[in-house]
Amino acid sequence: MCRLAAITSDEYFSPMENVLALETMKEGHDGSGMGLMLKNLGGEFEELKEYPILSGICSQKGIKLLDEYMDRLGFKLKYVWSPKLRYVKGIYPRDYYFARVYDYPDSYKDKSMKEKEDLLMRTRLALRAMGESDESIVVFSFYPDVLTLKEVGDPLELAEFFSLDKSDLKAKIIFAQGRQNTNYAINLYACHPFFIQGYASMTNGENTAFVPIREFLMSRGFPGYIGYNSDSEVFTHILHYIHRQLRFPLTYYKDVITPLKPSEIERRPDRDALNLIRQSLRPLCIDGPNCVIGFTPDGTCFMVQDSKKLRPGVVGGIPGKYGLMSEECGLDKVIPERDRSKDVFPMKYEMVIIPPGASEVKVWNQLKGEFVTEEAEVLCQV
Amino acid sequence: MPGVIKIREDFNHKLSLKEFPYIVRWRDDRCKRCGQCTAVCPVQAIVPSVKLQRVVESEGSIPAPVVRTKVIHIIEQVRDMERYCTGCGTCTLVCPNEAIEPEFNPQHKFYHYKNKGGEPYKRGGRRNDPAPSTLDRIKFTRISMLTDPALDAGRHEFRVRTYIGRILPPEELPLKSDNGRLVVDLSSGKFIPPVREIFPIMIGSMSVGALSPHMWEGLAMGVAYLNEVEGIPVVMCTGEGGVPPRLLKSRYLKYFILQIASGYFGWDEIIHALPEMVEDPAGIEIKYGQGAKPGDGGLLMAQKVIKLIAKIRGVPEAVDLASPPTHQTKYSIEEAVAKMIQSMSMAFGFRVPVYPKISGTKTARAVLNNLARNPYAAALSIDGEDGGTGAAYNVSMDKMGHPIASNIRDCYLDLVRQGKQNELPLIAAGGIGKKGHLAANAAALIMLGASAVAIGKYIMQAAADCFGDEYNRCNLCNTGKCPRGITTQDPKLYRRLDPEKVAERVVEVFKAAEVELKKIFAPMGRSTELPIGMSDGISIDDKDMAERLQISYVC
């Protein structure tokens, strides 16, 4: 089972905090990969928030191809960040790890964010296709204020490899996953978190409904719904589809991936809509054990469980800094000063949502279709 | 002797028992000559007979052999192809001494001879092919074990349900957000098609008329019990030929799919009952074809058209009721499908899913693509070559039609290419449970892309002990002489069948099937929704089949 460590804060912090949290859960990942995704970047990126950042890995040949392609499209390179690599036994360095900040082509400067997002995604997909056969170009994200690092190896060793402990790299939202490879090949594109147009998610589980979901997404006619080197990538794309494409409020993500039973739907005030959703989005219903942690473009973070709550997951912290982890020890490492009695362990009907700025933890109850306060929860338990 | 003309019997044109499909094994030493077997034989293939027998006997203490000629009484098999033993085994059932039993003869030449008077062989049943079907070769190979915990079929909650009805694509849902909550936007004027949630195994179309009153009643009672008591929403299709009037006006109608076929039998009565219906039916099935006899119409023979049947169907008694091979008022797919679906939808106020049923065919995808563009089409039911029937030409049954597995797969993948795999449910039928593996065959079809499956022959075998099998056993459904009382309108025969027992078995069959489906889905980690199109979960032990079905090959 993979291990998850997400932190959202109103202040910048180092990804080392996530890595150290993963380290406390070390027995749960096998070094088959770590993914780090940083959103709301600080440091040298703070002044570049409106410009898209292309994150990836290239070979010597690949970077030439990439530069030529980006030039041809009219993207202008503004800033380049690369991790300082250190030799670590067992980690095989690739030629060039990068986060390159670009300015939009002139023709796109006055276009809407939606059009810009489509351009960025198309560009990322084209680069991916160019380098996929020989791994000369591997790109993880291309979006403003989002940076991604991925590599095969143990998280702590990778942090050393990337010199994260000595780096100024920091952000207000950082997701990290230590991968336990199960049934798919060890591949950088199979490494969580996954990203598409401002949406990201990571998971610790197995999505047994993967193939019908993949077929449904791929047949939506949206070019970004490709890849799927991991069965968990569909969770990110479902999030994008529900929230961005269909414009459903975020809580309906839970209603789509783990729909209520008909008798339960009848108790919800929005039952008419839910009944239609349940039918029309039946192929996006997930199965298997999964705890999903994700963020949306505005910086809202959330955690949901599969319909049987077969995976661990905990959310806790203090106003201004919350962690969403697969295990409590991770939370203890990152925010030891919190009141542990207020930790939330979302069960099968709950969706934990932390608004941008990490001011509070909100728990949305699927049975009721509304956010519940702590007091109400206590009453429910009584 | 001069002057005497010898009449020599023509042995040369006599058939030997070796030509017959079943040879009756009768044991002289066990038989008490009660005559029950000959009385009960539906085809009079056995008769009591008297023979002269030469025996050598010796009485007394010293051997003194004496030759005597005795008159003996035997049970003899008739060597007339018109009275061939069908192998049904009713004789064995009634014999008090286990003295008689038909035995299949694999060397038979039955088909060579069964065309007397130039009349081809007609029968009931299904394709006479005892080989394992493609469905029976499919294995469920993706087992969640150490990578992730498997589910527990006995403890976890499972949702073994499906939909029939046209499902709107998510992009077209008339929803709007109101304070973080979605509501149906009634001002959009968008038509929301009717959708029914059902158990994924349904009882396929078998008419009142083809089935005996006791059989039909037993099935209907079983279905009602499953819905009302067990909470398993099994639906049953009426077949062509109407519905008993009392049922039309009862609240149980919601468990029945009414079928309309090219003879339109019973529809005058159904339409007239519309104002008195208290519930809508589960659906309307428009029959364009049947897997057992593609391109052939229906026929209910005069001897089955008794008073009750005549009343339900709205026809005179004792006349042959032929449903033509095609709907005579239609001349093109657009006409046949679109107009008919719309007319039937309108008749029920657009509150009932209406879908066509066709026989398995290479042209299924053309029909499918037509339906995919028709917003009123609620599903497509495809009946494969192993589907059963009450009456058909043997050649139609044995040689015509398309296997269901690849037909369903092709159609599903076609829908996937169009992104409509969830909009138009596919119902698969034909040979499900042929070898007794009802749940496994159903699950295989679901994972190939079917939303639901329909069974006919299987439920007759499992619930009413139908003798029929793929060795042409019995298969007398067309003659009205069904020895089990399943497909007959002869009260002497159907009184043998207890409708209560049929209902009880129907309930048992579906309850067991639900458990078995869970036993399949649980180790595969599927419980929240039916694994429609979960093709990575199945494999087959034949490379060509694997390639054709786009599933993995295992050995």
Q: What CATH number has the domain bearing residue B322? A: 3.20.20.70
B75, B152: one domain = no
3-state secondary structure of A11: strand
The verdict on a CB contact (< 8 Å) between A307 and B175 is: no
The verdict on a CB contact (< 8 Å) between B526 and A208 is: yes
**Locus of tokens 């039946």:** A282
Closest residue to A276, CB basis, from B151, B175, B524: B175
Question: Amino acid identity, residue B96?
Answer: P
Q: Which positions in chain A touch B417 (Cβ < 8 Å)?
A: 219
B97, B147: one domain = no
Dig out the tokens for B400 from the structure. 């015509």
B113, B147: one domain = no
In a domain, residue B134? The reply is: no
CB A154 within 8 A of CB A180: no
The verdict on a CB contact (< 8 Å) between A182 and B527 is: no
Q: Which positions in chain B touch A307 (Cβ < 8 Å)?
A: 527-528
Q: What CATH number has the domain bearing residue B19? A: 3.30.70.20
CB A301 within 8 A of CB A39: no
Q: How far apart are CA A10 and CA B266, in angstroms?
A: 72
In a domain, residue B314? The reply is: yes
Closest residue to B147, CB basis, from A206, A221, A308: A206
Give the residue ranges of DSSP H helices in B354-467: 364-372, 394-399, 404-418, 438-448, 457-464
Which residues 95-154 on chain B approach chain A with CB closer than 8 angstroms?
A: 142, 144, 147-149, 151
B306, B271: one domain = yes
Closest residue to B184, CB basis, from A211, A272, A369: A272
Q: Which positions in chain A touch B421 (Cβ < 8 Å)?
A: 212, 215-216, 219, 283
Q: How far apart are CA A348 and CA A254, in angstroms?
A: 10
ipTM tops the 0.90 cut: yes
Q: pLDDT tens for residues A68-99?
A: 999 999 999 999 999 999 999 888 899 999 99
CA A151 to mean position of chain CA atoms = 16
The verdict on a CB contact (< 8 Å) between B183 and A206 is: no
* For residue A186, pLDDT beyond 70: no
- B374 reaches A (C-beta below 8 A): no
B428, B347: one domain = yes
Give chain A's radius of gyration (CA, Å).
20
In a domain, residue B7? The reply is: no
Q: What is the pLDDT of residue B337?
A: 83
The verdict on a CB contact (< 8 Å) between B181 and A249 is: yes
The verdict on a CB contact (< 8 Å) between A287 and B418 is: no
The residues spanned by each domain of chain A are 3-17+181-381
A11: Cβ–Cβ under 8 A, 6 or more apart, which residues? Answer: A172, A320, A321
Name which of A193, A287, A39 is nearest B536 in CA terms: A287
In a domain, residue B4? The reply is: no
User: What is the number of domains present in chain B?
Assistant: 2
In a domain, residue B543? The reply is: no
Helix A60-73 / helix A113-131 crossing angle, nearest 10 deg: 150
Q: pLDDT tens for residues B337-357?
A: 888 999 999 999 999 999 999
- A319 reaches B (C-beta below 8 A): no
**Locus of tokens 């458990």:** B515
Mean pLDDT of A142-161: 93
> What values do phi and psi take at B393, rounded to 5?
-70, 140
Q: pLDDT tens for residues A110-146?
A: 999 999 999 999 999 999 999 999 999 999 999 999 9
* Pairing mode of beta strands B380-383, B426-429: parallel
Q: pLDDT tens for residues A324-353?
A: 999 999 999 999 999 999 999 999 999 999
Q: Which positions in chain B touch A208 (Cβ < 8 Å)?
A: 142, 144, 524-526, 534
Dig out the tokens for B325 from the structure. 């091979």
B271, B345: one domain = yes
Higher pLDDT, B533 or B6: B533
The verdict on a CB contact (< 8 Å) between A258 and B422 is: no
Closest residue to B525, CB basis, from A274, A282, A287: A287
- B492 reaches A (C-beta below 8 A): no
pTM of the predicted model, to two decimals?
0.94
Closest residue to A182, CB basis, from B147, B159, B420: B147
Mean pLDDT of B402-411: 98
B201, B88: one domain = no
Closest residue to B417, CB basis, from A210, A219, A247: A219
The verdict on a CB contact (< 8 Å) between A208 and B197 is: no
The verdict on a CB contact (< 8 Å) between B182 and A273 is: yes
- B159 reaches A (C-beta below 8 A): yes
Q: Which domain holds residue B107?
A: 12-56+66-119
Q: What is the pLDDT of residue A378?
A: 47
Long-range CB contacts (within 8 A, 24+) of A369-375:
A369/A251, A369/A268, A369/A269, A369/A270, A369/B181, A374/A342
Mean pLDDT of B365-385: 95
Grade residue B4 by pLDDT with cuts at 50, 70 and 90: low
In a domain, residue B374? The reply is: yes
Helix (H) or strand (E) holding A171: strand A171-178
B38: Cβ–Cβ under 8 A, 6 or more apart, which residues? Answer: B44, B46, B47, B48, B75, B91
- B231 reaches A (C-beta below 8 A): no
- A310 reaches B (C-beta below 8 A): yes
Helix (H) or strand (E) holding B51: strand B46-57
Q: How far apart are CA B317 and CA B309, in angstroms?
A: 8
B236, B111: one domain = no
Helix (H) or strand (E) holding B507: helix B499-521
Q: pLDDT tens for residues B10-47?
A: 888 899 999 999 999 999 999 999 999 999 999 999 99
The verdict on a CB contact (< 8 Å) between A277 and B182 is: yes
CB B43 within 8 A of CB B20: no
Q: What is the pLDDT of residue A190?
A: 83
CA B168 to mean position of chain CA atoms = 31
- A64 reaches B (C-beta below 8 A): no
Q: pLDDT tens for residues B490-538?
A: 999 999 999 999 999 999 999 999 999 999 999 999 998 999 999 999 9
Q: Which positions in chain A touch B197 (Cβ < 8 Å)?
A: 262
The verdict on a CB contact (< 8 Å) between B148 and A182 is: yes
- B378 reaches A (C-beta below 8 A): no
Q: Which fold has domain A3-17+181-381?
A: Glutamine Phosphoribosylpyrophosphate, subunit 1, domain 1 (3.60.20)
Mean pLDDT of A27-55: 88
Q: How far apart are CA A27 and CA A40, in angstroms?
A: 30
What does the DSSP 8-state code read for residue B157?
-
Grade residue B155 by pLDDT with cuts at 50, 70 and 90: confident
Q: pLDDT tens for residues B44-102?
A: 999 999 999 999 999 889 999 999 999 999 999 999 999 999 999 999 999 999 999 99
Q: How many helices (H) and strands (E) does chain B have?
A: 18, 23
**Locus of tokens 């905990």:** A314
Mean pLDDT of A212-240: 95
The mean pLDDT of chain A is: 92
* For residue A50, pLDDT beyond 70: yes
3-state secondary structure of A26: helix
Mean pLDDT of A8-34: 87
B96, B159: one domain = no
Higher pLDDT, A378 or B455: B455
Which residues 197-226 on chain B approach chain A with CB closer than 8 angstroms?
A: 197
CB B88 within 8 A of CB B476: yes
The percent of residues above 90 in pLDDT, for chain A, comes to 83
Give the residue ranges of DSSP H helices in B120-244: 134-137, 213-225
Name which of B424, B407, B406 is nearest B415 in CA terms: B424
Q: Name the residue in chain B with its Cα closest to that of A181.
A: B147
Grade residue B139 by pLDDT with cuts at 50, 70 and 90: very high
Q: Pick the residue of A215, A281, A305, A364 with the most B CBs within 10 A to test the interface with B by mutation.
A: A215
Q: How far apart are CA B272 and CA A163, in angstroms?
A: 82
Q: What is the pLDDT of residue A380?
A: 43
Grade residue A311 by pLDDT with cuts at 50, 70 and 90: confident
Closest residue to A282, CB basis, from B183, B192, B422: B422
B228, B298: one domain = yes
Closest residue to B422, CB basis, from A210, A280, A286: A280
State the smallest CA–CA distance between residue A262 and chain B in angstroms. Answer: 10
Q: What is the pLDDT of residue A382?
A: 39
Q: What is the pLDDT of residue B303?
A: 81
